[in-house]
């Protein structure tokens, strides 16, 4: 029987540890503030942004929501980001991915000040994560690491197979596992014999964006299965029921990686507020 890795309780513990830090900042007149930017009207993105804003407010932090029209140009989006960079009351900036196709998303990410890049999306933020001294690694990869650590699961020496190589998830989590001395294999849509590779994994990270993609018979008995996926109908990238009895430990969806991602975003914003306000 697998151990269920309870992301909701890991998230609660991270948020509890923020409470006194937020109060100390308020005592000196600083309310940690996360600015979220949403471009267009994608319903899933709207939900994600709303969840992040609500999570901020529940902890007594400020959430500033910037909602721009679908027709916004790259230049207009970058102007908005620059205003937030210069606004001393804003400590973290999150541009919700994906933006409409006509926008140069990379250019927009690069416009975020490194001091406020709380989701590790800039080239510099990514590079710092790769070197192992990043202040704010991408939140979902950091959440995956936080869950492994909360349960004292061994990373060093293990074979970790990451399925997905996106800049905010698959690549950074691969580097973070490598920095913790895992032996890492990164798989993607052109990988041959993916099932065979996954069968050799001690740790599987699913970051594919396809519901129930990882099959039960791909899992080595006792392997740790981390499901970063979040698809319509609250379904992960892992066939949870099929993997449950094979895995040694597994994250559910919902209440797995998702809530820890949000808690990590709040933590990074508080970290940034402290760094920017307490000299
Ligand atoms: P993405 O940018 O679409 O990347 C998906 C990756 O999966 C790509 O690298 C792609 O390979 C790979 N892939 C696609 N089909 C594959 C196949 N048949 N075999 C092997 N690899 C395949 O997605 P993402 O932004 O990284 O998100 C991945 C998942 O995580 C989604 O379910 C998303 O909703 C979820 N997510 C969750 C959170 C959270 O808070 N829990 C946060 C962010 C994302 P190529 O590079 O070759 O195209």
What the chain holds in terms of domains, given with CATH numbers, is 29-113 (3.40.50.10860), 139-257 (3.40.50.720)
Please indicate whether residue 80 or residue 278 has the higher confidence score (pLDDT).
80
Pocket of ligand 1 (CB under 6 A): 140, 163-166, 168-170, 187-191, 194, 207-210, 228-231, 237, 257-258, 261
pLDDT, one tens digit per residue, over 18-62 is 999 999 999 999 999 999 999 999 998 999 999 999 999 999 999
For residues 187-207, give the mean pLDDT.
98
Mean pLDDT (the chain, rounded): 97
Is 128 tagged catalytic?
A: no
Closest-CA residue, ligand 1 atom 22, reads 189
Instruction: Enter the tokens of residue 185.
Output: 């294999």
d(CA 44, CA 199): 32
pTM: 0.97
pLDDT at 279 over 90: no
Tokens 């202040």 correspond to 135
Angle at 139 between CA 229 and CA 8, to 5 degrees: 65
**Test site for ligand 1: of 190, 204, 209, most ligand atoms within 8 A of the Cβ:** 209
What is the distance in A from the centroid of ligand 1 to the CA of 152?
Answer: 26
Enter the DSSP assignment of 39.
E
- Residue 101 CB burial class (10 angstroms; 0-12, 13-18, ≥19): exposed
State the closest ligand 1 atom to the C-alpha of 237, by its place in the atom list counted from 1: 32
Which residues, 6+ apart, have CB-to-CB distance to 76 below 8 Å?
Answer: 68
């Amino acid at each position: 029987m697998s151990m269920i890795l309870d992301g909701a309780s890991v998230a609660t513990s991270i948020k509890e540890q923020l409470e006194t830090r937020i109060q100390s900042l308020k005592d000196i007149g600083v309310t940690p503030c996360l600015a979220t930017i949403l471009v267009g009207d994608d319903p899933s993105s709207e939900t994600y942004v709303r969840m992040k804003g609500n999570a901020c407010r529940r902890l007594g932090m400020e959430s500033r929501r910037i909602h721009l029209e679908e027709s916004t140009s790259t230049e207009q989006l970058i102007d908005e980001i620059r205003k937030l960079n210069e606004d001393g009351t804003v400590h973290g900036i999150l541009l919700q991915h994906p933006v409409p196709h006509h926008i140069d998303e990379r250019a927009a990410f690069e416009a975020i000040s490194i001091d406020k890049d709380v989701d590790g999306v800039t080239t510099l933020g990514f590079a710092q994560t790769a070197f192992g001294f990043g202040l704010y690694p991408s939140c979902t990869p950091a959440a995956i690491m936080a869950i492994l650590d909360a349960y004292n699961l061994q990373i060093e020496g293990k074979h970790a197979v990451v399925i997905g190589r996106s800049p905010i998830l698959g690549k950074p989590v691969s580097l973070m596992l490598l920095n913790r001395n895992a032996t890492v294999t990164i798989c993607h849509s052109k990988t041959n014999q993916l099932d065979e590779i996954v069968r050799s994994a001690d740790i599987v990270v699913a970051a594919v964006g396809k519901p129930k993609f990882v099959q039960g018979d791909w899992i080595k008995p006792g392997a740790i299965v981390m499901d970063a996926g979040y698809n319509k109908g609250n379904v992960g990238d892992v066939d949870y029921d099929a993997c449950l009895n094979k895995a040694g430990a597994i994250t559910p969806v919902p209440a797995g990686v998702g809530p820890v991602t949000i808690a990590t975003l709040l933590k990074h914003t508080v970290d940034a507020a402290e760094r920017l306000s307490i000299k």
